[in-house]
């Protein structure tokens, strides 16, 4: 195998992507399909799942943070693909934008349930397949998972937790041939970050464009990350060239200096 060939996942890889019907998840799904893999997605939006399936993509309507849903999701994924080689725990929510004194316990719990508990459940129900197939577990952290994030404490706490989760999984499952890594995106283009910027701008009493400019001023490359950038990192981690990468939190962020 050439070095160039080692940068592409092998054909036929069976991949489960949570929140795979839109945004970053949709690009991850697209990437593995382009690499001649099979993908099973989950999403809470039934219409989005229906629109995203077909052409090698199957799907389940499921809430990543609810314990009964992942059990059904993984059973349906195994049936659809004949097994699972890769789990991408991509489901996440932005959570509230407010001071810690204003954030309710309900909002805190909901943010951690989707972002951190959902990743744990993906690891819990996916680990038998990953052990059997010497597979790869990838979870979405964030630049907030290495820097902290004022006014976004539940989100940052969950994303720091993701790093602890994958490092622990790498230690625990590595002897059985399983790799576990986190990806830490920076400011990713799309409607979700636009909502976050709008909420913070409102808190500060400034315009959306002013808030966006302030955010990009903290990024060394002065630009946002694309969902395709994140998908490319996922593909590399599942390619032969990434086969010795485990227990890492990999930043794909343009070098976010501060948040």
Tens-digit pLDDT profile for residues 241-259:
999 999 999 999 999 998 8
Q: Which fold has domain 5-186+226-249?
A: Rossmann fold (3.40.50)
CA distance 255 to 160: 17
Residue 135: which pLDDT band, with cuts at 50, 70 and 90?
Answer: very high
Residue 155 annotated as catalytic: yes
Q: Determine the pLDDT at residue 44.
A: 92
pLDDT confidence tier of residue 198, bands split at 50, 70 and 90 = very high
What is the spatial distance between Cα 196 and Cα 189, in angstroms, rounded to a whole number? 11
Under 8 Å between Cβ of 258 and 192: no
Does 175 have pLDDT greater than 90?
A: yes
67 pLDDT band, cuts 50/70/90, is confident
In what side-by-side order are the strands of the sheet with 38-43? 57-61, 38-43, 14-18, 86-89, 136-140, 179-185, 249-252
pLDDT tens per residue across span 208-229: 999 999 999 999 999 999 999 9
Among candidate residues 117, 116, 104, the one with its CA nearest the CA of residue 156: 116
Question: Mean pLDDT, to the nearest integer, of 94-115?
Answer: 95
Under a CB-based contact definition with an 8 Å cutoff, are residues 247 and 170 in contact? Answer: yes
Residue 132 in tokens: 């059997």
Q: What's the rounded Cα separation, in Å, for the pair 241 and 3? A: 7
Q: How far apart are CA 7 and CA 170, in angstroms?
A: 22
Domain ranges of the chain: 5-186+226-249, 189-224
**What's this model's pTM, rounded to 2 decimal places?**
0.94
Q: What is the mean pLDDT of the chain?
A: 96
90, 155, 187, 239: which is the annotated catalytic residue? Answer: 155
């Amino acid at each position: 195998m050439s070095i160039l060939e080692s940068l592409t996942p092998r054909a036929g890889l069976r991949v489960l992507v949570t929140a795979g019907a839109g945004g970053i998840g949709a690009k991850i799904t697209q990437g593995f399909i382009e690499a001649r893999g099979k993908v099973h997605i989950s999403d809470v939006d039934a219409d989005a799942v229906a629109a995203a399936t077909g052409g090698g993509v199957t799907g389940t309507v499921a809430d990543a943070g609810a314990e009964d849903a992942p059990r059904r999701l993984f059973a349906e994924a195994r049936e659809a693909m004949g097994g699972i080689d890769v789990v991408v725990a991509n489901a996440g929510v932005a959570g509230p934008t407010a001071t810690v004194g204003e954030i309710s316990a309900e909002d805190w719990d909901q943010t951690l349930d989707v972002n951190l508990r959902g990743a744990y459940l993906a690891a819990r129900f996916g680990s038998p397949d990953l052990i059997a197939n010497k597979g790869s577990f990838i979870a979405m952290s964030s630049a907030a998972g290495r820097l902290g994030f004022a006014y976004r404490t539940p989100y940052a706490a969950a994303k720091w937790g993701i790093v602890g989760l994958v490092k622990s999984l790498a230690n625990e499952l590595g002897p059985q041939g399983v790799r576990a890594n986190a990806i830490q995106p920076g400011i990713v283009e799309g409607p979700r970050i636009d909502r976050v910027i709008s909420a913070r701008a409102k808190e500060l009493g400034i315009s959306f464009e002013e808030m966006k400019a302030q955010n990009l001023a903290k990024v060394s490359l002065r630009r946002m990350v694309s969902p395709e950038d994140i998908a490319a990192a996922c593909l590399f981690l599942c390619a032969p060239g990434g086969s010795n990468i485990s227990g890492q939190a990999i930043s794909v962020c343009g070098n976010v200096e501060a948040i």
